[in-house]
């Protein structure tokens, strides 16, 4: 479902403040989250996902990290052009589990193209770029802006016209998400939530507060791929050796979040939960949080993103969580993936 990265890891790293003895539980997704968190070198990162395909993707990225040098690592994944991905896969496949090896052995076309952009979500984003074909010159101008004032002026003078507003409202319609994008999470979005207005406000926030060229997510949305200056943290050269030296600290688990947490009482110091609420009704959300609290050490830190579905776990478990509204507001403003709200909390004894 996900193969690249659509979150800004600076937010999680700031919220969780990981230390060397911390054990961290995170959701796998594209694998980017676990790799980004590893830059702070906690003792252990357990990366869970009930979709085995996501686990196999993280295994592949870890095997590439351990086997290849930096240039071949990013080229193999798809950041740069390469004509040796099949050869590099031959070098690293023995570092995969037998299940992951079987999975990737029959997906040679994805390996040859670079797995970074092979996910369903990344294909959706490429389809959404088709209406912008005649605006590619304007997109180039936006991504060449060197300061926020010129970018903001260009955004409001040329980009934010009726074409953009009506187009954004169109793709915000529930039938588009349900029947064209086949997005199951739309069933959990409250019927009175103004999706189109929310998107307009958040894109305007992006244009006024962050250079588009520096946002990984903006590059994915408007250009279909990362540029060298917008690479997610785990794909940059500076932390590469740190990631390679500490890659053994990541444990990949195929299991639901609730099921895994229920087996590990008082184990984890930190949780990076992404936006699991997008796929959870009220009862499932409560159940997952109950087991998260079960597996949390006292004063454990939690960072949860929320997209179109918003719950308050502190209200569901009074006395067990203390949220930090100042930090949450700061992250909502500073996060370069710009579409999310945050739950940042500490677990009380």
Return d(Cα 13, Cα 18) in angstroms, integer: 7
> Does one domain contain both 73 and 103?
yes
The CA-atom distances, in angstroms, between 276 and each of 30, 180, 284, 344 are 14, 22, 10, 14
pLDDT digits (tens, 9 = 90+) for 102-140: 999 999 999 999 999 999 889 888 888 888 888 999 999
Residue 49: pLDDT over 80 = yes
Q: What is the CATH number of the domain that holds 16?
A: 3.40.50.150
The CA-atom distances, in angstroms, between 157 and each of 131, 138, 172 are 19, 11, 23
- Rounded to two decimals, the pTM is 0.94
DSSP-assigned beta bridge partners for residue 68: none
Helix (H) or strand (E) holding 271: strand 268-274
81 in any annotated domain? yes
> Does one domain contain both 291 and 197?
no
> Does one domain contain both 247 and 111?
yes
Residue 302 backbone phi and psi in degrees, to 5? -130, 135
Which range marks the domain in which residue 28 is found? 9-119+233-347
> Does one domain contain both 237 and 334?
yes
4 in any annotated domain? no
318 in any annotated domain? yes
Provide the pLDDT confidence category of residue 318 given band limits of 50, 70 and 90. very high
Boundary of a domain, candidates 168, 202, 230: 230
* Cβ pair 297, 347 in contact under 8 A: yes
> Does one domain contain both 252 and 108?
yes
Token pair, residue 91, equals: 């070098």
pLDDT of 124 reads 84
> Does one domain contain both 221 and 142?
yes
> Does one domain contain both 219 and 243?
no
Other C-beta atoms lying within 10 Å of the C-beta of residue 4: 27
Other C-beta atoms lying within 10 Å of the C-beta of residue 195: 19
pLDDT digits (tens, 9 = 90+) for 197-250: 999 999 999 999 999 999 999 999 999 999 988 999 999 999 999 999 999 999
> Does one domain contain both 237 and 187?
no
> Does one domain contain both 69 and 192?
no
pLDDT digits (tens, 9 = 90+) for 331-348: 999 999 999 999 999 999
Structural domain total, the chain: 2
> Does one domain contain both 160 and 265?
no
Q: Angle of helix 120-128 relative to helix 216-223, nearest 10 degrees?
A: 60
Boundary of a domain, candidates 230, 262, 296: 230
> Does one domain contain both 226 and 245?
no
What 3-state class would DSSP assign to 269? strand
Residues in the chain: 349
> Does one domain contain both 258 and 109?
yes
Return d(Cα 349, Cα 346) in angstroms, integer: 10
255 in any annotated domain? yes
Boundary of a domain, candidates 230, 250, 271: 230
């Amino acid at each position: 479902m996900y193969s690249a990265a659509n979150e800004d890891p600076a937010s999680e790293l700031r919220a969780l403040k990981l230390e060397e003895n911390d054990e961290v539980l995170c959701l796998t997704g594209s694998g980017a989250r676990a790799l980004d968190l590893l830059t702070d070198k906690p003792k252990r990162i357990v990366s869970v996902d009930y979709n085995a395909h996501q686990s196999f993707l993280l295994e592949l990225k870890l095997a590439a990290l351990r086997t290849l040098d930096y240039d071949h690592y990013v080229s193999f994944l798809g950041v740069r052009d390469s004509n040796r991905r099949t050869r590099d896969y031959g070098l690293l496949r023995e570092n995969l589990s037998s299940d992951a090896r079987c999975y990737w052995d029959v997906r040679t076309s994805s390996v040859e193209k670079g797995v970074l952009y092979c996910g369903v979500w990344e294909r959706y984003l490429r389809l959404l770029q088709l209406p912008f074909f005649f605006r590619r010159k304007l997109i180039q101008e936006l991504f060449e802006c060197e300061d926020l004032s010129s970018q903001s002026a260009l955004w409001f003078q040329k980009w934010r016209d009726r074409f953009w507003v009506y187009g954004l409202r169109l793709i915000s319609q529930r039938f588009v998400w349900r029947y064209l994008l086949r997005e199951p999470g739309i069933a959990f979005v409250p019927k009175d939530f103004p999706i189109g207005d929310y998107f307009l406000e958040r894109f305007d926030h992006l244009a006024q507060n962050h250079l588009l060229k520096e946002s990984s997510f903006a590059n994915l949305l408007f250009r279909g791929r990362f540029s060298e200056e917008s690479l997610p943290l785990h794909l940059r050269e500076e932390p590469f050796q740190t990631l390679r030296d500490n890659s053994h600290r990541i444990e990949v688990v195929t299991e639901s979040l609730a099921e895994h947490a229920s087996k590990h009482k008082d184990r984890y110091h930190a949780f990076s939960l992404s936006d699991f609420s997008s796929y959870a009704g009220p009862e499932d959300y409560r159940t997952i949080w109950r087991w998260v609290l079960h597996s949390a050490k006292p004063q454990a830190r939690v960072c949860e993103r929320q997209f179109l579905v918003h719950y308050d776990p502190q209200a569901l478990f009074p006395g067990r969580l203390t949220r930090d509204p100042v930090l949450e507001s700061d992250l909502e403003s500073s996060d370069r993936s710009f579409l999310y709200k945050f739950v940042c909390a500490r677990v009380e004894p």
